[in-house]
Amino acid sequence: MQDQSFTPARLRIELLSGLTVALALVPEAVAFAFVAGVHPLVGLYAAFLVGLVTALIGGRPGMISGATGALAVVMVSLVAQHGVEYLFATVVLMGLLQVMAGVLRWGKFIRLVPHPVMLGFVNGLAIVIFLAQMGQFKVPGSMENTGHGMSGGEWLAGPELATMLALVALTMAIIWVMPRVTRVIPAPLAGIGVVAALVIAFGLDVPRVGDLASIQGGFPSFHNPFGEGTGIYGTALAPFNLSTLEIILPYAVILAAIGLIESLLTLNLVGEMTGKRGGASQECVAQGLANTLTGFFGGMGGCAMIGQSMINVKSGGRTRIAGIAAALFLLVFILYAAPVIEIIPLAALVGVMFMVVIGTFAWNSLTILRKVPLTDALVIVLVTLVTVKYDLAIAVIVGVIVSALAYAWNNAKRIQAVERPSATEAGAKVYEIEGPLFFGSAEGFAELFNVQDDPDTVIVDFARSRVVDQSALQAIEALALKYEVAGKRLMLRHLSRDCHRLLTRAGHLMVDSDDDPDYAIAVDYGVRTGVLGAGH
């Protein structure tokens, strides 16, 4: 932490930062619940519980977690097809999977996600959120949740459409202008507040958050764990049986993966800004415990929020106090401001989401497509399309696989050999191998040698190469067999320590000499008859 002493000045900064974050959380939590097709207070539940737990035990002080659009766009299909009670069961299972990932220390694998994949990830997320808003431009009474946002029914037209577009545009304009005037009030909150005030003042007949109940066929009646009469909704979990597990498991896996990816990326970003490192596994456990808890309490689940985390850090929040304060302030808003939330115009939320889309989309990726390698450009486009067509987790997995295959292919083409006479073995020929020897380059490795025309003794020098995997061992064994059939001797030199262990563990090679001070291991291996060829 920066400024470790908790002076009154530091405490004031942390509390004000928390208040600012809480104000910013309200409209986005409501908006993301709106995207998921659940009651807005379900989103606020998640923002409070996930935010509080991760603030207490998360891997990076300063991070803010809550309901996010990345998860909401996956949840909408589950809610539409199976009901909100299955969502809460899914969130519980999602949390347990995330705890398991943290215990197994899988968080470190986030470093394997290439930058082009992340560009495609955020671009696809922005497009999906944008498309999810299109249903809000239809007549509310005829809309239904189809699993891809509110759709069906007739499009708004005439004065109704003009009013809706005007309010959306006004919300976006306020959010854009507000930071240039003052940062005392979060811009999304200011946009929603002004538009809501205009709608109420002029009595405009426009859809509001409370109309979500009629749009979705009514919300179930819940037990409220915080007490009756507060307007907060919760519900019993789905039946605990194999049928429920079959329904929720695919969604839970996807949500867990998306939540951890976004959380760990935020962890790295906040770490760069605050000069902190590590904490990935702890963050996985914290996210898992938070989602497990919020699922039982009727929340939609969540993960780290890049935007709110940036607000917190830039407002001076560096300790856990800011995150805890944000969650507690949000709880106060939930308990005493629920009726106010339900009169918010839907157009204002659409405007907030459109600004989220603009801020999320990596616009610089459009210009770098012509500058980066073709493979990277294809990965950006591919991940974006898969995100829009399927979901974020599949898109990231596809992107990582394609990037890995491209990397393997590029390395496979690097294998080559420099031929020269041996300085230590009279009449012998040396092949100096350059580039890694692995499954992708094994075939190219075999093509480097001219067995028929080579002398009786051939030395393969791996000083500039590395034996990586079993395919490499098999390639060496196949090469040795060719020289054995030709009645010639094959020797291997300059294997690094890890390659030596790999070959020795496989039982293929025997130590022949000890003449390399750089490696301090035997590097001149005779190829034994029946194992790798003719004896030394």
Provide DSSP, 334-377. Answer: HHHHHHHHTTSBHHHHHHHHHHHHHHHS-THHHHHTTTS-HHHH
- Over pLDDT 90: what percentage of the chain? 21
Q: Enter the tokens of residue 114.
A: 């290439």
Query: Which range marks the domain in which residue 432 is found?
Result: 416-526
* Share of residues in the chain with pLDDT > 70 (%): 82
Phi, psi of 422 (to 5 degrees): -80, 140
* Contact yes or no for 293/53 (Cβ under 8 A): yes
**Residue 392 belongs to some domain of the structure:** no
Q: With 0-12 CB in 10 A as exposed, 13-18 as middle and 19+ as buried, what is 243?
A: exposed
- 41, 232 in Cβ contact below 8 A? yes
The C-alpha atoms of residue 97 and residue 104 are separated, in whole angstroms, by: 11
Say if residue 196 is in the same domain as residue 339: yes
Of 383, 398, 430, which marks where a domain is finished? Answer: 383
Asked if residue 302 and residue 178 are part of one domain, the reply reads: yes
Per-residue pLDDT of 84-107, as tens digits, reads 888 888 999 999 999 999 999 888
**Closest by CA position to 252, among listed 36, 86, 82:** 86
Residue-wise pLDDT tens digits, 506-521 = 554 433 333 343 433 3
251-307 per-position pLDDT tens digit: 999 899 889 988 887 887 788 777 777 788 999 999 999 999 998 888 888 999 877
Q: Quick one: 200 and 319 in the same domain? A: yes
Close Cβ partners of 18 (under 8 Å, ≥ 6 residues apart):
312, 317, 321, 322, 323, 324, 325, 326, 328, 329
381-385, 420-424, 525-529: which has the minimum mean pLDDT? 525-529
Tell me the range of 185-194, 292-301, 492-501 where mean pLDDT is highest. 292-301
Residue 406 lies in a domain: no
Q: 170 with 309, same domain? A: yes
Q: With respect to residue 50, please indicate whether it lies within any of the assigned structural domains.
A: yes
> Does a structural domain hold residue 43?
yes
Residues 38 and 133 reside in one and the same domain:
yes
Give, for 415, the enclosing helix (H) or strand (E). none
CA distances in angstroms from 191 to 175, 187, 243, listed in the order given: 6, 6, 44
How far is residue 484's CA from residue 489's CA, in Å, rounded to a whole number? 7
pLDDT confidence bin for 222, thresholds 50/70/90: very low
The arithmetic mean of pLDDT across residues 165-184, rounded, is: 88
Same domain, yes or no: 504 and 448: yes
Distance between CA atoms of residues 406 and 375, nearest Å: 7
Summarised one tens digit per residue, pLDDT across range 283-293 is 999 999 999 99
Q: 365 with 429, same domain?
A: no
pLDDT-based confidence at residue 144 (cuts at 50, 70, 90): low
Contact 302, 94 (CB under 8 A): no
Residue 296 lies in a domain: yes
pLDDT band at 32 (very low <50, low <70, confident <90, very high): confident
What tens digit of pLDDT does each residue of 385-439 get? 998 887 777 888 899 999 999 988 888 888 999 998 887 778 889 999 998 899 8
Q: Is the pLDDT of residue 41 over 90?
A: no
Confidence of residue 211 (pLDDT cuts 50, 70, 90): low
Q: What is the dihedral of CA 84, 88, 94, 100, to 10 degrees?
A: -170
Tell me, yes or no, whether 401 lies in a domain.
no
What pLDDT is attached to residue 133?
79
Stated pTM of the model: 0.70
372 & 425 share domain: no
Taking only Cα atoms into account, the Rg of the chain, rounded to an integer number of angstroms, comes to 30
Q: Is residue 86 part of a domain?
A: no
Averaged pLDDT, 313-333: 87
Span of 33-37, 69-73, 175-179, 196-200 with lowest mean pLDDT:
33-37
Are 443 and 502 found together in one domain?
yes
Q: Are residues 361 and 422 in the same domain?
A: no
Over range 148-173, report the average pLDDT: 79
**Confidence at residue 503, expressed as pLDDT on a 0 to 100 scale:** 61
Taking residue 151's Cβ as centre, other Cβ atoms within 10 Å add up to 18
CATH number of the domain that residue 507 is part of: 3.30.750.24
- pLDDT confidence of residue 100: 95
pLDDT band at 146 (very low <50, low <70, confident <90, very high): very low
493 strand-pairing partners: 461
Instruction: Give the pLDDT confidence score for residue 179 in this predicted structure.
Output: 83
Q: What is the mean predicted confidence (pLDDT) over 144-168?
A: 71
Q: Which residues are CB-contacts of 125 (< 8 A; sequence separation ≥ 6)?
A: 69, 70, 73, 360, 387, 392
Q: Both 421 and 376 in a single domain?
A: no
In this prediction, residue 274 carries a pLDDT of 74
> How far is it, in rounded angstroms, from Cα 160 to Cα 140?
11
In a domain, 175, yes or no: yes
d(C-alpha 264, C-alpha 271), whole Å? 10
Q: Are both 304 and 353 inside the same structural domain?
A: yes
Averaged confidence pLDDT in the chain? 79
Number of domains in the chain: 2
